[in-house]
Structure 1
Amino acid sequence: MRLEVLPVLGIGDVTEGDDLSALIATAAPWLRDGDVLVVTSKIVSKAEGRLVEVPIDGPEREAARAEVLAGETARPVARRGSTRIVQTHHGFVMASAGIDASNVDRSRLVLLPKDPDASARALRAAIRERHGADVAVIISDTMGRPWRNGLTDVALGVAGMPAVRDHRGEVDPYGNKLNITQMAVVDELAGAGELVKGKCDQVPVAVVRGYLGAAGPDDGLGAAALVRNAEHDLFALGTAEARADGLRAAATLAESTAGGPVPPVVPAVLDGTDAGLDSAVVDRALRMVAGVVAPGTVWTLVTDDRRVRDRLGESAPPQGYGTAALLDCAPPGPADGDPGVLIRFGADLHRLRAALAAEGLGSAVLPAPSGVLGATLLLSYPPGPAAGL
């Protein structure tokens, strides 16, 4: 494969209502079928009128920009100083929702195209119908990357080719079956186009020639195929935001068995013997809080099935469904009329429940055995549905 990356020169400034297909075709009459047209999203936004008026400077400008950002934000992701990382209504996670103040009059801000895939489809159709070239179109913009310095161009909209080249099911030269390899080729092509476009050269369009033999017969799924589903996103929040979310979860920790029967710790194995609770999980939670609870606080884990069932009585889970485990908790000494001891113990008990939840163990607070100062935690694994974890 031989690739050429060619700048499209002479397009000039783009204003609202301009016909991008005419501007591009006039500047690049050499377009061929199968070329990949990489178009900077900013000129698409300008042509579509995706601009907003803002004050030129001062606090009024910052306030107006913040208001615009709020309107373009579907979900905040992270905040550091004046930097805002957000998820746009398109699903993209970007700094400042892609709002741009460069290469535009200072009284305006440029927003991302409303629907970049639709913009790519419309531009492809216009070039094919009016100018006779069947090309693929990528609408590109600049993004940062987690864990890496520097920016690169990526695809926001695509028409005429798949966004992803799927290698799953293929076998490599060593006989290994590929299970997860999916290459975001449109991002790679967008990055290649940026090499000849630059940021200050006013070259908003590039052509990558040689990658496609021919554009696809239809427009394809577009760049929407690149947006990761929330359930598969392992890094949905910034570190500070994830920590804050965890603290909120700890502050509102629910009883894992509330509103339902006591769940088993784990299912019993097929021969009917008790699979038991991995005490190492509890040990990790205890070590986590060891340095912050009152010195001398006593924790006693009870996993013996017979002892647990005797103490739970009718609340014990049915035979054959595993066991519940108990964790007896006692303050360092008698309260002796000092309510502060019990208040501190209650706070320490909640700290432990939060640590157990972090290990995937749900818990519910039960009274301690008769005549014993303290409380008992009923442990469940996995957490009961009311735990919210």
Structure 2
Amino acid sequence: MPSEVPAGISVLPVAGLPEFGPGDDLAAAVAGAAPWLADGDVVVVTSKVVSKVEGRLVRVEPGADREAARQRAIDGETVRTVARRGPLRIVQTPQGWVVAAAGIDASNVASDTLVLLPEDGDASARRLRARLGELAGVDVAVVVSDTFGRTWREGLTDVAVGAAGINALDDHRGAVDSHGNRLETTRVAVVDELAAAADLVKGKLAGVPVAVVRGLPPQRPAGDTDAGTRPLVRLPADDLFPYGTRDLVGSRAPVPGLVPRAGERDAAAAAFRVASAALPEFPVVLRHGGEGDGAVDVHLPDAVTTTSALNAGALVGAAIVQLHAEGWATRWEPAPTAGGTSLVGRLWLGAPPP
């Protein structure tokens, strides 16, 4: 006699959805195609369709160079360049994601169109969740997914770039395992796991942009504390590998007027060397600015406080003294990051301030 099938989690594709465009009612289409939605389901939606209905599109003019248009779009969606090799760029987006090409996609769209990531994936998820509640009368969670590569691993997988009605992280810190060991660091990225699982039935070529995960134990935020995917963004203080590889420095154009030491390929390498030595406690990343300048970005490890500002001021002051001793022109430009989670100070090198 067959044994009983154990209870578990199921992943269900939502078939029959149309091609979406700006202004379309995504929630109405999902509710119509999935009348079987139930309380507790997690609706996983590909970011591309969210971006399409929200108008996050870049049109390429007829006869224009599509790759050049794509590079300009990447520039517009880049907060900082983490690393680059040839035309490939790994950048941080305004949303905080570190991703190739700022997540800009040219697949599954017309040849004259590029698709940007949703401007605020969490807000998109909240709107979709509320609208599904109105139309279908169900209490579901929503995850907005996108395809990312993984550092040191080949292949792609889907991760969450927006979420609502579900905790992004399942925090096991302080719990004790079956062997009596207390867990110190374990936090499971539940929404990323849901995004990856949903992609098994959505696929990249199947034309199914929405899936439903059913059977997940409730992991709902308490009260009004829905933080979406913000807890997934690793802050600079906790990031041991924030700036990629030496390609970051090697790809930069020389900064005119600066003299590198023997063995340094250009003044950009010299700038990185000086800033790294003078600011040992803070991650630094070399940028290449305009008007003949180069720059070093300094990420403070916490929100701006009197103490952190004073510490940063002392370290930056030491860097400037060392740079001036080597004949460099400098200026310091504070630049708060989106959300106020850290401060990026930009130390410009080369051309004197105007």
Report if TM-score (shorter chain) is over 0.5.
Answer: yes
* 1:248 corresponds to which of 247, 271, 277: 271
1:266-277, aligned counterparts within 5 Å?
A: none
Secondary structure at 1:103 match in 2: coil
Aligned partner letter, 2:273: A
Cα distance in 2 for residues equivalent to 1:171 and 1:7: 37
Distance of 2:218 and 2:45 partners within structure 1: 20
Tell me the equivalent position of 1:30. Answer: 36
Residues 161/53 of structure 1: CA separation in 2 closer, same or farther (3 Å cut): same
**Do structure 1's residue 185 and structure 2's residue 190 form an aligned pair?**
yes
Alignment of 1:5-154 (within 5 A): 5-55=11-61, 60-154=65-159
What do the CA deviations read for 1:13-61 (whole angstroms, capped 9, x no partner)? 0111111110000000000000000000000000001111114666x22
Q: Which one has a bigger Cα radius of gyration? A: 1
Match status 1:158 vs 2:163? yes
Q: Secondary structure at the match of 1:162?
A: coil
Structure 1: tracts of 5 or more residues without a match: 257-383
Give, in whole Å, the separation in 2 of the partners of 1:211 and 1:67: 41
- Following the alignment from structure 1 to structure 2, what is the Cα–Cα distance between the partners of residues 15 and 84? 28
| Letter matched to residue 150 of structure 2 | R
CA contact (8 A) 1:165 1:184 kept: yes
> What CA distance in whole angstroms lies between the structure 2 residues aligned with 1:218 and 1:206?
26
The offset of 1:212, in angstroms, is 3.1
- 1:133-177 C-alpha deviation (Å, 9 max, x unpaired): 110000000000000000000000000010000000001111111
CA distance in 1, matches of 2:185, 2:102: 29
Partner of 1:144: helix, strand, or coil? strand
Kindly report which structure 2 residues correspond to 1:188-207, keeping only aligned pairs within 5 A, or say none. Answer: 188-207=193-212
Provide the identity percentage.
Answer: 55
Question: What is the DSSP-based 3-state SS (H/G/I as helix, E as strand, rest coil) of the residue aligned with 1:234?
Answer: coil
| 1-structure distance, mates of 2:141, 2:30 | 14
Q: Deviations over 1:250-308 (max 9, x none)?
A: 3568889xxxxxxxxxxxxxxxxxxxxxxxxxxxxxxxxxxxxxxxxxxxxxxxxxxxx
Q: Deviations over 1:367-386 (max 9, x none)?
A: xxxxxxxxxxxxxxxxx845
Q: Contact (CA 8 Å) 1:33, 1:215: kept in 2 or not? A: no
1: CA distance between counterparts of 2:75 and 2:52? 21
Q: Say which SS state the counterpart of residue 109 (structure 1) adopts.
A: strand
1:225 to partner: Cα distance: 1.1
Query: For residues 307-329 of structure 1, what are the alpha-carbon distances to aligned partners after superposition, in whole Å with 9 as ceiling and x for unaligned?
Result: xxxxxxxxxxxxxxxxxxxxxxx
**Structure 2 stretches lacking a partner, 5+ long:** 1-6, 251-267, 280-313, 323-354
Q: What letter is aligned with 2:205?
A: C
Question: Aligned AA for 1:37?
Answer: V
Tell me, in whole angstroms, the C-alpha distance in 2 between the residues paired with 1:71 and 1:242.
19
Amino acid of the structure 1 residue aligned with 2:142: V
CA distance in 2, matches of 1:170, 1:227: 23
In structure 1, distance between residues paired with 2:164 and 2:43: 10
Change in 2 beyond 3 A, CA 1:174/1:226? same
Residues 209 and 248 of structure 1: is their aligned pair in 2 closer, same or farther, counting only changes over 3 Å? same
Aligned residues: 261
SS in 2 for 1:239: coil
Deviation at 1:246, TM superposition (A): 6.3
Query: CA RMSD, aligned part only?
Result: 2.3
Checking the alignment, whether the CA contact within 8 Å between 1:159 and 1:219 is kept in structure 2 is no
Over 3 Å counting, the alpha-carbon distance change for 1:3 and 1:249 in structure 2 is same
* Partner Cα separation in structure 2 for residue 35 and residue 254 of structure 1: 52
Which range moves more in the overlay, 11-20 or 246-255?
Answer: 246-255
Could you say what secondary structure the match of 1:90 adopts?
coil
Distance, in Å, in 2 between the alignment partners of 1:124 and 1:218 is 15
Structure 1 pair 215–22 and aligned structure 2 pair: CA distance change class (3 A): farther
How far, CA to CA, are the matches of 2:204 and 2:147 in structure 1?
A: 10
Q: Measure, in 1, the Cα distance between the counterparts of 2:161 and 2:275.
A: 39
Query: Relative to structure 1, is the Cα distance of residues 255 and 211 closer, same or farther in structure 2, using a 3 angstrom cutoff?
Result: closer
Deviates more, 1:140-149 or 1:129-138: 129-138
Shift of 1:62: 2.0
Match of 1:238 in 2: 244
From the superposition, tell whether residues 210 and 218 of structure 1 become closer, same or farther in structure 2 (CA, over 3 Å).
Answer: farther
Shift of 1:249: 3.5
Deviation at 1:220, TM superposition (A): 1.2
